[in-house]
Amino acid sequence: MTLSSIPTAELFNLYDSRRARATARAKEGREPLTLWYESRIIEELATRKLSRLDRRHRKSILLTHQYEQASLALHLDLPLNIPAPSISPCAELVPHESFSSNKALSPCAGLVPHESFSSNKVLYPVELLHLIRHYSSYRDFPTRELLIEYTDQAITLILSALSQKDKDLSPTAAAGLSQGESIAPSLPAPLIELAAELTDLHRRGIISIPAAIPDSLREIAATSDGPAAIIPLLTISLLDNAPTLERKAIRLLNRLHRSLLTAPEQPVASPSSTTADLSQVESTLLTKISHLHLLTLHADYLTRFSPRKAARLLQTLSTEFLTLATSSIPPSSPQSPTIPRAGLVPCESFSSNNNNKSLPLLQLIEIQNHLLPHQIPVALTTLLTTLARLHLPAPLLPSPHKTAI
């Protein structure tokens, strides 16, 4: 339930219960030193027409909230960077943009998927991952509040997936597994990297997270022996100071490096290919992009990594990606044949329910930033960058690296 659907009286009660909410957050393992939820409550109250008595109550909690923000910023030794609202607390409160000068602090509140930078209602794991990375190097109080808000949503997604996994893996289902049959990882693939990022922020002392998140990574590192275990192994090796896990991750990375560079090339699908052929080629292509992204970001762990070979593979995969993305829609479709295929290109921004739309494009951009000096055609680089700027919000665009591999 979002704040916009809550009655005004309940919003006041929700704000007044902030002490109990902070205690519950600390007990659950979330970051207790935050006021982002209270800021969303006040922003919602500022958009409503209230009676005279409620307006006085709203003025009172606005003054209280400003004082608590200043106190918390002083405690955290962060600049507040929140100017006075466009109205005086002693004047009539009218709807306005936000109480913060940072316009990024405008999503609706709640520990549920909310409106992001476009008009969509859902933030997917890949979006949360890049937003958390973008705001993790905060330098002022509003940016930290935004980081905590996004980490809260990421924690909610991960805990929901873990609870669903526990339901699916009931004692009866576990007993039905044959001898030697392994149990699937406790987290789906899109959430593993998100959980690793949260765990690393927790290790660095930036945020607090529930213990169930690093425990799930430990479970994946102990039970899985494929590419999905590489990031959990490296994360837990740093968290627990376990060099054995790091050596296992290095073995998996080198194995993946050999298989990726020696695998036969997948032919690019033509516009006349059947739907089944397109789906198979698309799945193979996305897997290769994900593996190359994994190898490029962890190239320091590889025994022998050739940036030029990786750049040539990037050129091949990007060409196939763009070919599939711009392949024609069958003539029977009433749409124009030049519309990109919705399965790959985020042509509708993030408004649909396809979680894989933004992931390959973001991964290609990140690989490109690492391998930029190594024989990547300028035209291809420009095309990928332009496509990303057209279809991805600015905070989701990875920043170019100053030095490449």
**Is residue 145 a contact partner of residue 105, using CB atoms and an 8 Å limit?**
yes
Q: Would the pLDDT of 107 be above 60? A: no
Question: Which residues, 6 or more positions from 111, have their beta carbon under 8 angstroms from its beta carbon?
Answer: 152, 153, 156
User: Are the C-beta atoms of 84 and 149 separated by less than 8 Å?
Assistant: no
**Contact call for residues 254 and 248 (beta carbons, < 8 A):** no
d(CA 300, CA 100): 41
Dist CA 63 CA 242 (whole Å): 49
Determine the angle formed by the axes of helices 52-76 and 141-168, rounding to 10 degrees: 90
pLDDT (average), residues 17-35: 93
Distance CA 159, CA 153 (A): 10
CB 298 within 8 A of CB 252: no
Average pLDDT, the chain: 74
Give me the count of residues in the chain: 405
Decide if pLDDT at 266 tops 90.
Answer: no
Residue 148 is predicted with a pLDDT of 95
Give the whole-angstrom CA distance, residue 33 versus residue 78: 13
The pLDDT of residue 383: 61
Across the range 97-106, mean pLDDT stands at: 36
pLDDT of residue 119 exceeding 60:
no
Return phi, psi of residue 351, to 5°.
Answer: -85, -15
Residue whose tokens read 């993946």:
256
Query: Where is pLDDT greater, at 115 or 141?
Result: 141
pLDDT digits (tens, 9 = 90+) for 335-369: 433 333 333 333 333 333 344 456 787 788 788 77
In 3-state terms, the chain is what percent helix, strand and coil (to 5)? Answer: 60, 0, 40
Contacts of 179 (CB under 8 A, 6+ apart): none
Q: Are 148 and 31 in contact (CB under 8 A)?
A: yes
CA distance 204 to 113: 26
Dihedral sign (CA 16, 19, 24, 29): positive
Indicate the pTM of the whole model.
Answer: 0.74
The answer to whether the beta carbons of residues 158 and 195 sit under 8 Å apart is: yes
Q: Residue 43 and residue 34: Cα distance in Å, rounded?
A: 16
Q: How many beta carbons lie within 10 A of that of residue 28, not counting itself?
A: 15
Tokens coding 73: 């910023």
pLDDT at 267: 53
Q: How confident is the model at residue 280 (pLDDT cuts 50, 70, 90)?
A: confident
Find out whether 161 and 194 touch, Cβ atoms under 8 Å. no
Above 90 in pLDDT, residue 214?
yes
CA 182 to CA 357: how far, in whole Å? 30
pLDDT tens across 159-188, in order? 999 988 766 655 544 444 444 444 455 787
Instruction: Please answer whether residues 87 and 128 qualify as being in contact, where contact means their C-beta atoms are separated by less than 8 angstroms.
Output: no
Q: Coil, helix or strand for 49? A: coil
Tokens of 397: 């665009």
Q: What pLDDT, on a 0 to 100 scale, did the predictor assign at position 94?
A: 35
pLDDT at residue 329 is higher than 50: no
Question: Looking at residue 130, what is its pLDDT?
Answer: 85
Q: What is the pLDDT of residue 264?
A: 54
pLDDT at 226: 86
Report which of 354, 63, 399, 312 is spatially closest to residue 190, judged by C-alpha positions: 354
Integer Cα distance of 213 and 257 in angstroms = 28
- Which runs of consecutive H residues, i.e. helices, occur in 79-227? 125-135, 141-168, 171-175, 189-203, 212-223
How does pLDDT run across 31-79, given as a tens digit for each residue?
A: 999 999 999 999 999 999 989 999 999 999 999 999 999 999 999 999 9
In 237-369, DSSP assigns E strands to none
